[in-house]
Structure 1
């Protein structure tokens, strides 16, 4: 775990996302999906100042990760045809939007202490 003021990338591995697309995706959708995956990878590996509070740090890192997953799922839903994958993508959107709302509500109730 990073210490207060330590960059997150100093202590956590830098994941690499291997992006694949479905045959159902169109050329524009494929490019958009790839861009969303690249954003997710960039968000996950970007240096972030850690507060030292694991609760705040987790929420601050997970919100953009969830938003990127929502963007990827929505891109898939525009052209994806497989019923099972469509249900999964719809569930990703619904679940992660709800979780983002919950995390933002938690942040509002637990503001960072003043320095």
Structure 2
């Protein structure tokens, strides 16, 4: 009669093999989960970095979009005043963001000082526009004042890395340069002494701030 009893040695070997494959499967699953977690963490960190960059970048885009919507009259003084008042709005908002989120003492202090002065200039420029709504001229000539803004948008780094301070210094430097270039296009066309003098003052102030921002960026290379 055939003996149907299992050999104890074979039973032990089968059990050992079963435990081995179970452990391997579990380790493989844990490795995949760990890998997925690492990817998620890396992606999350990337999104956080992009989010930091986007905050200041979004303000810049918002300002550039607002400038594109400015209705040109063809009168150089009115068109400049309207464009620069809108241009100031972007600088004011970026300065407020730096003041609330920045950490560098020099940049934060700069951000605190700029808005009050720019708001005063902004009010004067808007008053001028309001009082000269009927003024018209050659829009082909005054449209050239929008070119610096378009050039700046083309040069903007949408994948900017670094801190809020770096974003502020870099983007504000570019923003000032577009304002400086706008003044340079306007001055040969200027007719109203009051607005011409204000434009020269704005250019001098923005050149001075830009030098400080560029020097800071040079000292704090990423």
Q: How would you bin the TM-score normalised by the shorter chain?
A: 0.7 to 0.9
1:56 aligns with 2:163: no
Q: CA RMSD in A?
A: 3.0
More helix by share: 2
Give the distance between the partners of 1:60 and 1:79, measured in 2 at CA. Answer: 30
Could you state the TM-score of these two structures normalised by the residue count of structure 1?
Answer: 0.73
Number of residue pairs the alignment of both structures matches: 109
Partner of 2:178: 68
Could you state the TM-score of these two structures normalised by the residue count of structure 2?
Answer: 0.41
Query: What does 1:26-45 align with in structure 2 at a 5 Å threshold?
Result: 29-40=141-152, 42=153
Structure 1 unmatched runs, 5+: none
Query: What does 1:77-88 align with in structure 2 at a 5 Å threshold?
Result: 77-88=187-198
Q: Please identify the structure whose Cα radius of gyration is greater.
A: 2
1:102 aligns with 2:212: yes
Contact 1:43/1:65, CA 8 A, preserved across alignment: no
Contact 1:21/1:33, CA 8 A, preserved across alignment: no
Say which structure, 1 or 2, has more relative contact order (CA 8 Å, 6+ apart). 1
Gap change, CA 1:105 and 1:99, over 3 Å in 2: same
Structure 2 unmatched runs, 5+: 1-46, 77-136
Give the Å deviation of 1:39.
3.3
Give the Å deviation of 1:26.
5.5
Contact 1:3/1:51, CA 8 A, preserved across alignment: no
